C-alpha cells in the first residue's frame, strides 16, 4: 500500500511564529538545567520558560532576579536569546549564510520581508547587511563606554562583562540587568539615577534600538540622499515628541514625590524624568521605583508602553507610525478633510485601515488578558493593566507584580509577550485561514457614526 504524504507549505508569518517558539523552547530547556542556576538547583521549567520568552521577545519581565538566580552560563544563554530575539532569528540565520557564502533564496527573502515589516523584497538583503553592521557597531560603542564606567565601581573584569551584557540588553530594548548581586534583586539602574554617563548612554542605546534600522540607515545616508523618507520623518518626529512630552509630564507629576524624583537634585530630576520617558518605549530599565510613582504617572506610562517603538526596530507596541496615523485621522476628520496628509504626502486607505486594525487587535488583547488576570491575581487592577501592557509592548517595566504571578498568570503574560514581539497582525496572519481573493463586492451601505 502506497502512502502519499502531503507537503505542508508554511507562509512567512507561520515560519516566524514557529521559529520564535522553537528558540524559546531551546532557551527554556537550557535555563532549566542545573548549570544555568547560580545555586546549582535547577529553576522550574515554567520560570525558565517565562525567562526565555521574556528574553527572546526582548521584554525584560522576570519572575526571578537575573543576576542572583542564574549562573554565568545562564546569563550567557539569556543574553544570546536577547540578541537573537532583538535582531530576529532570520537576521541571525542570514548572518550565518553570509559567513558561509550561501545564496539567499526567494522564500528566505519573503520571510525577511515579513520579519522586517517591509512592503517589498527590493533591497531586503542589503538592509539585513546594514542591520547586522549597525547593530554590532552601536553595541560595541555602548559596551566600551559602559565598561569604562563600571570598571571604576566593579573592577575591570566585572566592569567589562557588565558593559558588554547591558549594551546588548539595552540596544535590543530588553531591559534585563545583572545588578541584583550589586544593589539588590530587581533593582535595575536605580542606584545610577543621577549618573550622566550611564543615563545618556543607556538612553542612546534604547532610542537607537527603538528607531528602527530603516531610519538609522536613512540618517547615515542623509549626506548622499540629501533627504529623509516620509517613514523616517514620521518616526523621528513622533519619537522626539513622545520623549520630550513624556519627560515633561513625568517631571510635573513626580516632582514632589518622595518615592521617586523628590530626593534627587535638580539635574537629577530632569535626567530621571527623561529616562522614565524613554524606557516605556519598550526598554524596561528604570532608575526610579515604578511602584512608587503616582497613579497618574503609572497610567501615563501605560499609554507610552502601548504606543511603543517604531517599525523594523527591536521594540514592540502598536508603533509610532500607527499612533501618528491615528492622530492624523482624528485631525483630518475634525477639519473635514478627506485625506490624512503627513509632510505633504497623502496616506493610502490601506495604511489607515491597517493602523486601525492593528490598534483594535492590540487593545482587545490587552483588555482580554487584563480581565483574565483580574480573576487569577489578587492585585489592584492598575497593577495588572500595567503588567499586561508592559508584556504586550515588550517593555519589561513592572509595578512589582511579576514575581508574584500565579502559574496561570505566568502563562498568560508569556503568551502576551510572544504576541507583542511578533505583532498582532503577523500572529493573526499565521493562525488565520489563507486569504482568498473576493469574486464580488457587496453594494455600499450607510450607517450613522457618532
Residue pLDDT, tens place only, 274-293: 999 999 987 888 999 999 99
Give pLDDT, residue 5: 44
State the number of CA atoms in the 13 A half-sphere of 409 facing the CB. 22
Residue 121: its pLDDT value, please? 56
pLDDT-derived band at 103, boundaries 50, 70, 90: low
Closest CA to 212 of 228, 232, 233, 229: 232
| Residues 397 and 390: beta-carbon distance below 8 Å | yes
Helix (H) or strand (E) holding 341: strand 341-342
Asked if residues 308 and 318 have their Cβ atoms less than 8 Å apart, the reply is: yes
What mean pLDDT, rounded, does the chain reach?
86
DSSP state of 37: B
Cβ(312)–Cβ(117) below 8 Å: yes
Q: 362 phi and psi, to 5 degrees? A: -60, -45
pLDDT band, residue 124 (cuts 50/70/90): low
Lowest mean pLDDT of 120-124, 164-168, 345-349, name the range.
Answer: 120-124
Residues in the chain: 450
Q: 3-state class of 345 per DSSP?
A: strand
Structural element, H or E, at residue 346: strand 345-346
pLDDT at 32: 95
pLDDT band at 237 (very low <50, low <70, confident <90, very high): very high
Percent of the chain topping pLDDT 90: 55
Looking at residue 70, its pLDDT comes to: 96
Question: First-to-last CA distance in the chain?
Answer: 65
pLDDT beyond 60 at 111: no
| pLDDT band for position 1 (cuts 50, 70, 90) | very low
Which ranges in 155-229 belong to alpha helices (H)? 156-171, 180-183, 196-211, 213-220, 222-225
**Res 4 pLDDT > 70:** no
Model pLDDT, residue 387:
95
Q: Dihedral sign, CA of 214, 219, 220, 224?
A: positive
Q: What angle do CA 182, 184, 185 make, to 5 degrees?
A: 120
> What does the pLDDT read at residue 433?
57
- Residue 348 exposed, middle or buried by CB count within 10 Å (0-12, 13-18, 19+): exposed
445 has pLDDT over 80: no
Look at residue 53 and tell me whether its pLDDT is greater than 60: yes
**pLDDT reading at 319 higher than 70:** yes
pLDDT at 31 over 60: yes
Rounded to an integer, what distance in angstroms lies between the CA atom of residue 316 and that of residue 419?
A: 10
Whether residue 261 is predicted with pLDDT greater than 60 in this model: the reply is yes
Residue 126 in this model has a pLDDT that exceeds 80: no
3-state secondary structure of 342: strand
Amino acid at each position: 500500500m502506497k502512502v502519499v504524504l502531503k507537503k505542508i507549505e508554511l507562509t512567512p508569518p507561520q515560519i516566524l511564529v514557529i521559529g520564535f517558539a522553537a528558540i524559546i523552547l531551546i532557551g527554556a530547556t537550557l535555563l532549566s538545567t542545573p548549570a544555568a542556576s547560580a545555586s546549582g538547583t535547577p529553576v522550574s521549567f515554567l520560570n525558565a520558560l517565562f525567562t526565555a520568552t521574556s528574553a527572546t521577545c526582548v521584554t525584560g519581565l522576570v519572575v526571578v532576579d537575573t543576576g542572583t538566580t542564574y549562573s554565568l552560563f545562564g546569563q550567557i544563554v539569556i543574553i544570546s536569546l536577547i540578541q537573537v530575539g532583538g535582531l530576529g532569528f532570520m537576521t541571525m540565520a542570514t548572518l550565518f549564510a553570509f559567513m558561509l557564502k550561501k545564496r539567499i533564496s526567494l522564500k528566505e527573502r519573503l520571510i525577511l520581508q515579513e520579519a522586517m515589516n517591509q512592503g517589498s523584497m527590493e533591497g531586503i538583503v542589503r538592509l539585513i547587511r546594514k542591520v547586522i553592521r549597525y547593530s554590532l557597531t552601536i553595541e560595541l560603542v555602548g559596551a566600551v563606554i559602559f565598561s569604562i564606567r563600571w570598571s571604576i565601581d566593579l573592577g575591570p573584569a566585572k566592569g567589562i562583562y557588565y558593559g558588554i551584557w547591558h549594551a546588548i540588553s539595552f540596544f535590543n530594548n530588553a531591559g534585563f540587568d545583572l545588578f541584583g548581586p550589586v544593589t539588590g534583586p530587581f533593582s535595575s539602574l536605580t542606584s545610577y539615577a543621577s549618573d550622566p554617563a550611564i543615563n545618556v548612554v543607556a538612553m542612546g542605546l534604547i532610542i537607537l534600538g527603538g528607531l528602527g534600522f530603516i531610519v538609522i540607515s536613512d540618517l547615515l545616508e542623509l549626506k548622499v540622499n540629501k533627504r529623509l523618507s516620509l517613514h523616517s520623518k514620521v518616526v523621528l518626529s513622533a519619537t522626539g515628541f513622545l520623549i520630550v512630552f513624556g519627560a515633561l509630564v513625568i517631571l510635573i507629576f513626580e516632582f514632589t514625590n518622595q518615592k521617586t524624583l523628590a530626593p534627587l537634585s535638580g539635574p537629577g530630576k530632569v535626567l530621571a524624568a527623561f529616562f522614565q520617558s524613554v524606557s516605556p518605549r519598550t526598554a524596561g530599565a528604570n532608575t526610579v521605583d515604578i511602584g512608587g510613582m503616582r497613579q497618574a504617572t503609572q497610567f501615563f506610562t501605560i499609554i507610552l508602553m502601548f504606543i511603543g517603538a517604531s517599525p523594523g526596530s527591536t521594540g514592540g507596541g502598536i508603533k509610532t507610525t500607527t499612533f501618528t496615523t491615528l492622530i492624523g485621522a482624528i485631525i483630518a476628520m475634525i477639519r473635514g478633510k478627506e485625506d490624512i496628509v503627513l509632510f505633504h504626502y497623502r496616506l493610502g486607505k490601506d495604511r489607515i485601515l491597517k493602523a486601525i486594525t492593528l490598534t483594535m487587535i492590540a487593545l482587545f488583547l490587552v483588555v482580554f488578558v487584563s480581565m483574565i488576570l483580574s480573576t487569577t491575581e489578587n492585585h489592584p487592577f492598575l497593577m495588572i493593566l500595567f503588567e499586561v501592557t508592559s508584556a504586550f509592548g515588550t517593555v519589561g517595566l513592572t509595578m512589582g507584580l511579576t514575581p508574584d504571578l500565579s502559574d496561570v498568570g505566568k502563562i498568560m503574560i508569556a503568551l502576551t509577550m510572544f504576541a507583542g514581539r511578533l505583532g498582532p497582525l503577523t500572529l493573526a496572519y499565521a493562525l488565520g485561514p489563507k486569504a482568498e481573493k473576493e469574486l464580488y463586492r457587496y453594494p455600499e451601505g450607510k450607517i450613522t457614526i457618532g
